[in-house]
Structure 1
Amino acid sequence: MARGRAPQYDEQRALILSQAARLFAQQGFMATSMNQVAEACGLSKAALYHYFRDKYALVAHIAETHVRQLLEVVMQAQAECTEPPALLGLLIQRFVREYASAQDAHRVLTEDVRFLAEEDRLRILGVEREVVSRFAQAMRALRPELGGRELDKPLAMLLFGMINWLFTWFKPGRGLDYEQLAPMVSDLFLHGMLDMGLPQPAALAPARRRAPRSTDTTRTPT
């Protein structure tokens, strides 16, 4: 008969992932050892291996869990709200708030996923693309002409450029926290997108005309 997990197994596993994400975010994946993770968790190295076989397994689990949580945030917002302006605003605010509690995991996703094997990296990239696609869909619902001009995904990426790197510069507690910042980011992007003019299609460059050959018969032949 298989022995069941101890009641604290999931709690201990969550602690390990949290501490590993913190170390990876602070030091980088390559500079962090399993010994450091074990010490941060108050575990022996042997006990740590009971939960994760190596630090590769840790970084893969952190990155994939985080990006799947972001997809879950999107799907839940879409289930709750269908009105285009309200939905896009809700998505932006929830993402900013999600990043507030997952800064370490987000840094692992953005900086350390490159160390993963191709199969794992592509699987995680597929989830990221689904997140971007759903944001682009919300933008098309608000401004349908974006889809025909293939501007929806570039705008989605511009939005992620605004919020993906908040952890590098935003320090809450200095007169502004994430709860206050979230609606500001939402209003800034939403109103900017609604008022934004669309670029004109690039005109075809005129064909370059070749200079005519010289017909000067006075040149001395060579």
Structure 2
Amino acid sequence: MGRGRHAGYDDQRETILAQAAHLFATRGYSATSMNEVAEACGLSKATLYHYYRDKYALLFSIADTHVERLQGIVHDALSGTREPRTRMQALIKRLVEEYADAQDAHWVLTSEVRFLEPADRRRVLDRERALVAAFAQVVGDLRPDLKEAALSKPLTMLLFGMVNWMFTWMKPGGALDHDAMAPIVTDLFLGGLGAVQVPPAAPAHAAKTRRQA
């Protein structure tokens, strides 16, 4: 009879994925070795192979796990209400919150997934398409005329463009964090520039910036 998994096994796997994602995001998948992943995790290479058979398995797990988590977020956000506007608000809020702590995994998903074998890449991309379809459905529920004009998906992609790359310009400890940005993205997407509400902390930060200048 085989040995069962020890307590903390899943936590260790998540730690390994997080460290590998950071290395892949900063150095690139091709330039990262299993030795470097093991060192970043504080593990021996033999122990690392106990969790993941090779670097490719790490890459697939990072991408697949990230998309699976996003699918769970979408499912939870859509299960609370049938009202389209409230659904869209919940979707955007949860998506922005998730990306606040998943920047490395998101970078891997968008930039390194090309290294996956066709079947694995298709699995990940199919899951991404399902996410886009779920958002597009809510856009269509909000504006049936946009759905009829085949604009639901393009508008959804514009929304993802706002959210997906937020990490490239948001500075840790800056005036705006992901909690502050979620309602701004929602207001902008649903109501346009005129609907955006200024966060309470923004004026104080602006005054400080002017004084420093």
**Bigger mean CA offset, 66-75 vs 169-178:** 169-178
Q: Which residue of 1 aligns with 2:201?
A: none
Alpha-carbon distance, 1:184 to partner: 0.7
Q: Which residue of 2 aligns with 1:111?
A: 111
Q: Identity over the aligned pairs, expressed in percent? A: 58
Q: Which residue of 1 aligns with 2:42?
A: 42
> Matched residues in 2 for 1:192 and 1:133: separation?
22
1:168 and 2:168 aligned: yes
Tell me the matched-pair count.
Answer: 194
The within-5 A match list for 1:147-166 is 147-166=147-166
Partner letter of residue 184 of structure 1? I
Secondary structure at the counterpart of residue 20 of structure 1: helix
The within-5 A match list for 1:41-120 is 41-120=41-120
Partner letter of residue 109 of structure 2? L
Post-superposition Cα deviations, 1:106-141, rounded to whole Å, max 9, x if no partner, equal 111001100000000001000000000000000011
Q: Is the 8 A contact 2:170 2:176 kept in 1?
A: no
Post-superposition Cα deviations, 1:68-125, rounded to whole Å, max 9, x if no partner, equal 1111111111001211111111111111111001111111100110000000000100
Q: Which residue of 1 aligns with 2:2?
A: 2
RMSD, aligned α-carbons:
1.3
> Matched residues in 1 for 2:182 and 2:56: separation?
33
> Matched residues in 2 for 1:93 and 1:8: separation?
30
Structure with bigger gyration radius:
1
Alpha-carbon distance, 1:176 to partner: 1.3
Q: Is the 8 A contact 1:172 1:178 kept in 2?
A: no
Q: Which residue of 1 aligns with 2:137?
A: 137
> Matched residues in 2 for 1:45 and 1:143: separation?
54
**Bigger mean CA offset, 112-121 vs 4-13:** 4-13
Q: Which residue of 2 aligns with 1:18?
A: 18
> Matched residues in 2 for 1:179 and 1:172: separation?
13
Q: Is the 8 A contact 2:23 2:37 kept in 1?
A: yes
Gaps of 5+ in 2: 196-213
TM-score under structure 1 normalisation? 0.85
Partner letter of residue 102 of structure 1? A
> Matched residues in 2 for 1:40 and 1:65: separation?
20
Post-superposition Cα deviations, 1:54-80, rounded to whole Å, max 9, x if no partner, equal 111001000000011111111111001
Q: Which residue of 1 aligns with 2:204?
A: none
> Matched residues in 2 for 1:49 and 1:40: separation?
14
Alpha-carbon distance, 1:192 to partner: 2.7
TM-score under structure 2 normalisation? 0.88
Partner letter of residue 23 of structure 2? L
Gaps of 5+ in 1: 196-222
**More helix by percentage:** 2
> Matched residues in 2 for 1:66 and 1:159: separation?
19
